[in-house]
Structure 1
Amino acid sequence: MRLARKVGSGDQLRAEAKLVEIASERQAALVVAAHSTDAEDCIELLAMLGLRDTAPGPETQ
């Protein structure tokens, strides 16, 4: 299978990469929250991963 290369401006590609990064961080935060023993544990684990400021998005509300 051949992957098509996306053509776009550097700014557009950076913006799209940032959206992918944000989505990945939100997904990681959801996994951490689901496996945490309590709120304190969740906060500590998120901080360890650098996800302390991850806010829920529309898909998680």
Structure 2
Amino acid sequence: MAENELVYRVVRNDEEQYSIWLAGRETPAGWHHEGTEGTREECLAHIEKVWTDMRPLSLRNRMAELDA
């Protein structure tokens, strides 16, 4: 199967970090299907659009607590 024929899905972990995974494979432990599927390029473009803060959620929450 050619690379451009593969279907990927966007996955996200509890720290709101994103990755892509082949759609036909079991999602790795600790990751959840985010809802987006498509070509590798489509999935990476979606991640680039939605993942605007690369810091893990726990760090963002801690920094917000310190600012309060």
> Do the structures match in fold with TM over 0.5?
no
Give the TM-score, by structure 1 length: 0.27
Q: Which is helix-richer, 1 or 2?
A: 1
Larger radius of gyration, structure 1 or 2? 1
Q: Which is strand-richer, 1 or 2?
A: 2
Give the TM-score, by structure 2 length: 0.25
